């Protein structure tokens, strides 16, 4: 009887357990995604951030066109047209400025832009026979009317303020991607410079004996040639903004073909033989690039394994707006290069 009792008890226990688990699962095992509401958003928005915008020609009076994609998110494409309205957003600028890790934003003057205030997502099939979910807002930005004040971070913030279906139903606006921001920032080093420099060529890094700071060339004992013309002279070399302390400039002894490199002004206020300065560190904008052709598309650095010149410091002299850059790189063939670029603001 004991064996029978235990068997019955075991079976009953398992049955009750299965019943309880099954009862618990019945509420959660099926989610009706069809009931999830459609949501309207800027497809390319980065919540709380701004996309840096750089003009091809900052002095041009001709507007540049930016097409902003409006997207209807959700499990199903809309079955009726949705009209979306947008407006300049103070709220977006305020939210952007909550982040203390970037230069505070200032509203871009309204003379610098115009935009379409509405767009309609047309229900049905798009040009490639997919269910359409998108529309576009045309934004026009005028370079010559965008202030280039150094150190001021101008921000354009646009917000989706309403979205309605053709039948008049309100559509939810994304709380994360309902605002899109663009910023126009020029750091204190941004501008047009005269570039004078030299490139020293070594068969291998072992042929480089170090740097002679007084003579501004490799130390005696180094085995090298110098690229011509020596020095190179570019009357106009553009220094552009990456961040408040980091900028970019042409790479090597070519104003365009080698792409650009980044340099950071460290704001450490050191004394040098030429007066007070801040040290400058050169970095690649394509880290780890080994010099393989095509591995880094222009304008990224086309110089392999580019780094700050060992044991040599670059400097930025605020009083004369002069920058001295020193860097080195190794081609994928093993040949080694050392460069000095002297930049004076025009």
Query: 33 falls in which pLDDT band (50, 70, 90)?
Result: very low
Report whether pLDDT(126) > 70: yes
Pairing of strands 232-241, 191-202: antiparallel
220-231 pLDDT per residue, tens? 999 999 999 999
Q: Are residues 266 and 123 in the same domain?
A: no
Residue 160: predicted pLDDT: 98
| Mean pLDDT value of segment 44-65 | 88
- Contact between 90 and 110 under an 8 Å Cβ cutoff? The reply is no
Last residue of some domain: 163, 185, 207?
185
Q: Judging by beta carbons within 10 Å of its beta carbon (0-12, 13-18, 19+), is residue 321 exposed, middle or buried?
A: middle
Strand partners, 86: 160
Query: Closest Cα partner for 182 from 71, 85, 43, 46?
Result: 46
Report whether pLDDT(13) > 50: no
Distance CA 75, CA 31 (A): 12
Q: Are residues 46 and 179 in the same domain?
A: yes
Across the chain, what does the average pLDDT equal? 87
CA torsion angle for 98, 101, 102, 105 (degrees, to 10)? 10
Indicate the pTM of the whole model: 0.66
Pairing of strands 314-317, 307-308: unpaired
The answer to whether the peptide bond before residue 92 is cis (omega within 30 degrees of 0) is: no
Pairing of strands 172-173, 39-42: parallel
151-200 pLDDT per residue, tens? 899 999 999 999 999 999 999 999 999 999 999 988 889 888 999 999 99
Host domain of residue 79:
35-185
| Mean pLDDT value of segment 13-38 | 46
- Token look-up 């979306």 returns 84
Q: Are residues 199 and 328 in the same domain?
A: yes
The number of folded domains in the chain is: 2
Q: Are residues 312 and 295 in the same domain?
A: yes
Q: Are residues 195 and 338 in the same domain?
A: yes
Distance CA 333, CA 336 (A): 9
| Mean pLDDT value of segment 287-309 | 85
Element (H, E) at 22: helix 2-28
Residue 34: predicted pLDDT: 42
Q: Are residues 71 and 166 in the same domain?
A: yes
Report whether pLDDT(282) > 80: yes
């Amino acid at each position: 009887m004991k064996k029978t009792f235990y068997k019955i008890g075991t079976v009953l226990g398992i049955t009750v357990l299965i019943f309880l688990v099954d009862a618990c699962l019945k509420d959660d095992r099926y989610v009706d995604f069809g009931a999830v509401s459609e949501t309207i958003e800027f497809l390319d928005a980065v919540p709380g951030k701004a996309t840096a915008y750089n003009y091809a020609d900052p002095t041009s009076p001709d507007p540049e066109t930016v097409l902003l994609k409006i997207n209807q998110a959700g499990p199903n494409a809309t079955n009726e047209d949705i009209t979306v309205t947008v407006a300049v957003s103070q709220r977006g600028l305020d939210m952007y400025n909550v982040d203390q890790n970037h230069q505070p934003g200032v509203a871009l003057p309204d003379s610098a832009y115009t935009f379409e205030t509405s767009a309609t997502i047309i229900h049905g099939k798009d040009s490639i026979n997919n269910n359409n979910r998108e529309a576009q807002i045309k934004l026009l930005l005028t370079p010559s009317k965008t202030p280039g004040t150094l150190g001021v971070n101008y921000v354009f913030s646009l917000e989706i303020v309403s979205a309605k279906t053709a039948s008049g139903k309100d559509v939810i606006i994304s709380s994360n991607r309902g605002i899109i921001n663009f910023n126009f920032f020029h750091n204190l080093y941004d501008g047009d410079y005269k570039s004078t420099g030299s490139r020293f060529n070594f068969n291998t890094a072992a042929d480089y004996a170090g740097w002679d700071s007084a003579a501004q060339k490799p130390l005696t004992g180094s085995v090298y040639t110098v690229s011509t013309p020596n020095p190179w002279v570019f009357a106009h070399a553009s220094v552009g903004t990456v961040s408040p302390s980091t900028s970019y400039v042409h790479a090597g002894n070519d104003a365009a073909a080698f792409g650009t490199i980044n340099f950071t002004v460290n704001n450490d206020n050191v004394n040098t033989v030429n007066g007070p300065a801040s040290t400058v560190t050169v970095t690649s904008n394509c880290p780890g690039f080994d010099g393989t052709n095509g591995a880094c598309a222009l304008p990224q650095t086309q110089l392999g394994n580019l780094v700050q010149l060992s044991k040599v410091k670059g400097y930025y002299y605020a009083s004369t707006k002069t920058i001295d850059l020193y860097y080195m790189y190794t081609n994928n063939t093993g040949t080694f290069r050392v460069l000095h670029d002297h930049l004076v603001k025009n």
